[in-house]
Structure formats: structure tokens, C-alpha cells
Chain A
Amino acid sequence: MADITAAGSATATVDKVAPQPKNRIPLLVWFGLIWIGFILIVALTADWITPYRFTAYDLRNRLSPPGHVLHWLGTDELGRDVLSRLIVSIRISLLVAFGATVISAVFGTVMGFLAAHFRGWVEQFVLMLADFQAAMPFLILALSVLAFFGNALPLFIGLMGLYGWERYARISRGLAISAGAQGYAGAVRQIGASPARVYLRHILPNIASTLIVSMTLTFPEVILLESGLSFLGLGVQPPMTSLGNMVGYGREYLTRAPWIMLAPACTIVLTTLAVSLVGDWLRDRLDPTLR
């Protein structure tokens, strides 16, 4: 670990002193990219690479520690294979996180564009909703929705999709207004282009980099939120499993069988860290003023 940080800081200082023509990717970002790629492959191939079904019991090998011949990451209190459950959990958690991030990005951007285009009371309304969203503790909102409407995976993803939309709305509104006031968007509007053309062909590609970076910041938060809700028993319901759900049900065996909880917990930490690192790097790379 000391080697990695030393190497990382060394490349950072070298970059500062002598900016190379080809921007080298820092070591930590390499780690992030590789980890994200690995996680994605695991999630996509989950059906084929799980050694057992994630609900299969092996009652003779309950609570066996990692390193067992049949169960590399050990088993839980019912003898279910932790590795298989972890792989399926990664798929579910990524599905929730990706789905929610895309929903909130699309919804927020559309709201921001509506506010920027119509101004007046539409803008006031959108901003009021955004303020309301920002002021409301999201966990409480989620708790009440799940308590009233029950819990199904699509509803859960949709609910998570409400998380963070106000940021996209604010960003896209601000950038669209400034582009329209004196910039390229105003010029294109002056040519006679329809609003759809102005927003989709010109403004969206121009602000996409900012939105993508914002997505990489929201993504880990959604994973953590999903984990938190599942930990509280309100997220993904058994027998389905997710990373937070595994942590939640593993906490009872924290002292006797810590591996049940540690495997998903480490995955959460590493994945959120990797996405944050890559997002940070993307922000620097996509911002033309920092290039």
C-alpha cells in the first residue's frame, strides 16, 4: 500500500513539473478502471460464474470460514455459499445503482431544460421541487414510500432514481441558460432552430461532460443508499440478495462469522472508491480549462 501511494504521488509530482504531451493515467485511476471493469464483468456473467445457486443450502457446511475447499469465501448461517451470494448481490446492486443513476440523470436534465426553456412559473416550480428534494432527508422519503407501496425491485429502482435529480436539474438549467443568453444556443435559436434541436443537438453534447462527472459522483452515493436501506431491511428483500442486504443480515454473526459481512462490505468500499476516483479523473480530463 505504501508503495502504491508513493508511486501515485511520484507520478502526480512528475505530471505537475513537466506536463507530458500524452496525459498518463495515474496509478490509482488505473486501479479504479480495472476494478470497475472487473465488477461489470462479474455482474454480466453472474449466471455462469456462480459456483452454486445463491439460495442453495449446504447444511453440513454452515458458517464455514473462507478457504473451505467447496466454498472459497465461506458460507453463512444456512450454509449458503458467500461467493455465489456476493456475485448475485453485485449484479443486483449495480442494476439498482445504474438504473437509479440513469433515471435521476435523465429526469433531472429534462427538468432543468424545461426550467431553462420556459422560465417564469415553470422554472419557479422546478426550483421549488429541487429545493424540496434537497431539504427532505432522502432516507425518510424512501422509508415512507416503501412503507406505503410495498417493495418491488422496479419500484425500488424508481425510488432510488429520485435521488440526486435536483443536482442535474440545477446544473443543466444553469448551463442551458448561460448558453442561451449569449452563447451558441442563442445563435442557433436565432437561425430558427426548433427548441428540440437547440437542446438535443447543441446544449446536451456541450454539457454532457459535466453531467457524466455528476453521474460518477451520484453513483457511489446510490450504492451506499441502497446498502443502507437494505441494511435496515427496507431495500432488496430476501430471498433476493444485494450487497447491503448481505451486510444487514450478516451483522448478527459479526463476531462468529465476520466473513459473511466483510466480503460485501469490502466490495462496497472498493466499488464506491473506484467510481469516485475515476469520476474525479474524468472531471479533470473533460474540463477544457484544466487541460
Chain B
Amino acid sequence: MSAPLLQTRNVTRCYGMRKGLLGRSVEVRAVDGVSLTVERGRTLGLVGESGSGKSTTGRLALGLEKPDAGDVLFKGAAMPGTDSLAWRQMRARMQMIYQDPLGALDRRLQIVEQVREPFDVHGLGQPKEREALAFALLQSVGLRADQGRRYPHELSGGQRQRAVIARALATKPDLLVCDEPVSALDVSIQAQVINLLVDIQQELGLGLLFISHDLKVIRQVSHRVAVMYLGRIVEEGEADLLLSNPAHPYTEALVSAAPVPGRRTRPRIVLQGDPPNPAARPSGCAFHPRCHAARERCKVESPLLKPMPDGRLAACHVAHDQANFLKAAS
């Protein structure tokens, strides 16, 4: 059995945060012991509120940041140090798609010059052929040659994102980390870009780590889904199971907040308050101040991410108690 494409094992990333002018530096755990696995040809969706550590997890997965604890394995081998030669060469195998395609493109270079850049960097193809290769790539994501001659600000948002995808695919990577790739796009364009990503995945057998706060997008692309809250994974499982029948109250609230066509079948759960400050993490389960099912135990004891009887993982006392109760009853 071969090693999974990408594996993070208990990765933790802390940032120092200073309060006030002379305050002491407070350690903020943006990502706290996250373990994820991305398989070849499969998509792992990562959901959570803003500030939950999704993007940091994505950056850690690519080795753009070094984890403070835990490790990242790519095809079973440890990630080399950021910006080392081995790390740079490894970029050909893993690529990223950004939330803001305009920011990710150089405003002073034509699209085609930027799409051919990976060929130049990794020395792929003959120098004379590279431009033709870049145009072929652009065509494969649905951009015409004359659009390739334009500058980023002369294209629409969807076209820019296609250009970014074309650049990311230039080296035929095995892993693609998509950090909110469609949240800056119109809904009609979103569908096009997502379909493009799904098609590409089927064609090339890419592993995708798809980060989004938008559940309907996640539902469309993901095989598995992991839900993050305050730097930790609170629930992970097969996409259909998790989104149709959430076990963790936080997932439940997220699912109920997503608009559904027709009549609402389950009541909408509106969470009270803001996500807590990661520098002052609540005791016990971090979600308990906003949880409708919280008990005394949740305030004291932090729940572990454990497998449920139906195969998914959840970190919730209430969900596990219910599952045990049902098992005992049957």
C-alpha cells in the first residue's frame, strides 16, 4: 500500500500576538494539532468560519510555513525546509490556487508570460516551445490566445482565476490546494470554475485540498469534509454523511445556515456571539459558549476527535454520548 498523497500529523502553528503597546506577547494557536489526509484523485473539503485556521492549514500543507509541532508528509516523505532548493523543486508537484486571482498575478506581465513561468522555473520543455505550451494550457482552461496576450486587469474575475489555474497546472502537479478559489467570484462564474476544477481532477487524478467557508461549494466538490473550529478539527467524514446528518452541533449550525431550495426541513440554528478570541480559548470544548447542547462536562473537559460508529470522526461529548446510548439501546 502506497503512502497517501499528503498527510499532516498533529500540525500546530502558533503566532505571537502583542496586546497594546507594552503588553506581553500572547501565543495564539492558529492551528492546533490538525491531522488530515488527502488521497490521490480525491478532494478533501475544509470548512470553517473566518479565523478558524483553514488557510493556515493550507499553507502548512504546502510547506509555505513551518509547523511549530507535528509534521507534514508528501507521498510519505517529510516536507523539506521552506525556500530550500528541494522545497522549490517540490513546487512542481504541489500548487496553490488563491482567493484573489488579481492579487496572485503580476499586473505588469501578460497572462501568457505568467503561465509559461513554471516552465522557465523548472526548466520544462525547450525555451522556444514554452510559449506554445502556455497557450495550449490556456486553451485547456478555456482562454483564447488573444486573451493570453492581455494583462490581468483586462480580464474578468473568472478569466483571471482560469489563468491562475492554468499556471498551477503547468507542471502537472499531484496536489492542488485551493484556498477559497471561488469566494471572490460571481455565483454564475463560481459554477464554471468549480466544474473546471472537477474536470481537471478527473482528467489528471489530482488530490485537492479545497478550503472554503461556503458549504454548497464544498458539497459540490468534496469526497470528504473536515470542519474546523478555532484551529481544531471538530468533525471529519464522508461529505454526504457529514452534510446530511451532522454529528457535531457546530457542523449542524453551519449546515442549517446554508440556504436550501424549497422548504426548510430542519430548524435554522443561529449561533450566538462571535467566534471566541483564539488567544483566550474557552476551557473545555472551545465551542461550548455558543453550543445549544452544551453540558457541564463540556465546560471542563476538552473532547477528543474520536471515531463514531458510522465511521466519521467527531470531537463532541454530546454526539459520542448519543451514539453510545443508541448502541446500548439497540
A binds B: yes
Q: Among A186, A193, A206, point to the contact of B117 (Cβ < 8 A).
A: A193
Whole-angstrom distance from the CB of A212 to the nearest CB of chain B?
14
State A182–B179 Cα separation when bound (angstroms).
12
Residues on B with beta carbons closer than 8 Å to the beta carbon of A187: 96, 98, 104-105, 164
Interface stretch of the complex, out of A58-66, A98-106, A194-202, A218-226: A194-202
- Please, how many residues of chain B have a CB less than 8 angstroms from a CB on the other chain? 25
Q: Is the interface of A mostly helix, strand, loop or mixed?
A: helix
A8 proximal to B (CB < 8 A): no
Contact B98 A192 (CB under 8 A): no
Q: How far is the CA of A122 from the CA of B260 in the complex (A)?
A: 53
Q: How far is the CB of B123 from chain A (nearest CB, A)?
A: 11
| Interface presence of A191 (CB below 8 A) | yes
State how many angstroms separate the Cβ of A183 from the closest Cβ of chain B.
5
* Total chain A interface residues with beta-carbon distance under 8 A: 17
Q: A198 → chain B, closest Cβ, in Å?
A: 10
Which B residue's beta carbon lies closest to that of A194? B88
| Set of chain A residues within 8 Å of B98, measured between Cβ atoms | 182, 187
Contact of A192 among B91, B107, B109 (CB under 8 A): B91
Of listed B96, B100, B117, B122, residue having the most chain A CB within 10 A: B117
A184 in contact with B104 given A190-B95, A191-B167 (CB within 8 Å): yes
Interface status of A238 (Cβ within 8 A of chain B): no
A190 touches B64 (CB 8 A): yes
A193 to B89 Cα, complex, angstroms: 9
The answer to the question of A175 belonging to the interface, with a C-beta cut-off of 8 Å to chain B, is no
CB atoms of A182 and B89 under 8 A apart: no
- Chain B neighbourhood of A202, CB < 8 A: 106, 109
A182 to B98, CA, bound (A): 9
**Given contacts A187-B104, A191-B91, A192-B118, could you give 20 more A-B pairs where the C-beta distance is less than 8 Å?**
A182-B103, A184-B103, A184-B104, A184-B106, A184-B107, A187-B96, A187-B98, A187-B164, A188-B117, A189-B83, A190-B96, A191-B117, A191-B118, A192-B89, A193-B121, A194-B88, A195-B83, A202-B109, A205-B108, A206-B108
What would 5 A/B residue contacts be, using CB atoms closer than 8 Å? A183-B103, A186-B104, A190-B64, A190-B91, A192-B118
Binding site for A on B (CB under 8 A): 62, 64, 83, 88-92, 95-96, 98, 100, 103-109, 117-118, 121-122, 164, 167
| A interface residue numbers (CB < 8 A to B) | 182-184, 186-195, 197, 202, 205-206
6 closest A-B pairs by CB = A192-B91, A187-B104, A184-B106, A192-B88, A183-B103, A193-B121
